[in-house]
Amino acid sequence: MVINLVGKFSNAWGVEHLIKAGFESLDHEVNPMDIKDSYGILRRIKSNALTVVLQGYGLAPKLIESGRRVTKEPWILWHAEVMSPEWPTNDHVVVSKFNQLQQNAYTFDAIGHNCHCCLNTVRYAAENMGASSRLGRQVFWAPNNGVDPMVHRRIEGIAKKYAIGAYGYLSERRVELLRWLGSEGIHVEYRRPEEGCFGEELTRFINQCHCILNFHYSASPNTECRLYEAMGSGVPVISEPISMPELFPDSHCGIMTFMSTDELLCYAKNVTEAAARYPLRLQSIGTAAMEYLHANASYTQRCQNFINQVRKHIGQPIGIW
């Protein structure tokens, strides 16, 4: 199958490159196109190909309609932006993502979303703009975060330097929590992608940590790619509650979930002590999580599930399947 894959390919980090590799591992031909070069998409798009858009924001509806005339095959939005299970919400980040989704959701044949608990919100965003004529209720769950064993792995020979590490874009919420932990005597080594911490450099940083702290960018629960990156590299995780805990069974992954700052502080102190006195215990937890995710949450499996869901929800398009 030929797949036109639209995403932020001009970024050196992001899920786009991993999903491209996932489709290619299934012997699909992938035609990657950068969403920032929106009108270049019309010049490079291949006909008789399924078009998968990983981020819809920035694509004008008229451009999508023009592209549809070229391909004559389905356009699917594989959406990963944070949403809320309930609408309306006071989370300004989710409101912004919701408004972005509304701008062109109605132009797609179907929408797959990373989080099953947010499907009603995604459906509402699409139908509120008159999507029922084409989209109907073709909104489905298809996780698009996972692990690539060639990328997310334990790197032999890298020494542990930090008891607790964290990374990602900073928000006011994250800065406040980091400052509070610091005031309690807990050091969290932090890295940001704009400083070059992505790809292989990110995997090396994760390997230098005994544990990774996962906390949400905004108040809405999420299931971040950070969980897969850390545990897929053999490092255990402390996390606030996530939106899809069933993807990480306690018997295999052992996420240390905190419901309050008191619980977070307790976990952080325990990990700091274990890193100094019992590092093999943390390593054992990380190994079990890594083995489970490599076997059950690879990007190859995520991409195959996505294809299966598309077939189920929109039928079998002529000419490409």
Q: Are residues 124 and 39 in the same domain?
A: yes
Question: For residues 110 and 145, what is the distance between their CA atoms, to the nearest angstrom?
Answer: 19
How confident is the model at residue 137, as a pLDDT?
Answer: 56
How confident is the model at residue 306, as a pLDDT?
Answer: 97
Question: For residues 129 and 60, what is the distance between their CA atoms, to the nearest angstrom?
Answer: 14
Reported pTM? 0.94
- Domain limits at 217? 162-296
Q: Are residues 36 and 141 in the same domain?
A: yes
Q: Are residues 93 and 217 in the same domain?
A: no
Q: What are phi and psi of 147, to 5 degrees?
A: -125, 150
Does residue 155 belong to any structural domain of this protein? Answer: no
Q: What is the pLDDT of residues 217-265, one digit of tens each?
A: 999 999 999 999 999 999 999 999 999 999 999 999 999 999 999 999 9
Q: Are residues 171 and 190 in the same domain?
A: yes
Q: Are residues 10 and 116 in the same domain?
A: yes
Locus of tokens 């989710």: 94
How confident is the model at residue 81, as a pLDDT?
Answer: 87
Q: Are residues 83 and 181 in the same domain?
A: no
Q: What is the pLDDT of residues 198-220, one digit of tens each?
A: 999 999 999 999 999 999 999 99
Does residue 209 belong to any structural domain of this protein? Answer: yes
How confident is the model at residue 129, as a pLDDT?
Answer: 64
The β-bridge relationship of strands 2-7 and 50-53 is parallel
How confident is the model at residue 134, as a pLDDT?
Answer: 57
How confident is the model at residue 218, as a pLDDT?
Answer: 94
Beta carbons within 10 angstroms of residue 311's beta carbon: 12
Which parts of the chain have pLDDT scores under 70? Answer: 129-137, 316-321
Closest CA to 238 of 205, 216, 208: 216
Question: For residues 108 and 56, what is the distance between their CA atoms, to the nearest angstrom?
Answer: 10
Q: Are residues 7 and 140 in the same domain?
A: yes
Does residue 157 belong to any structural domain of this protein? Answer: no
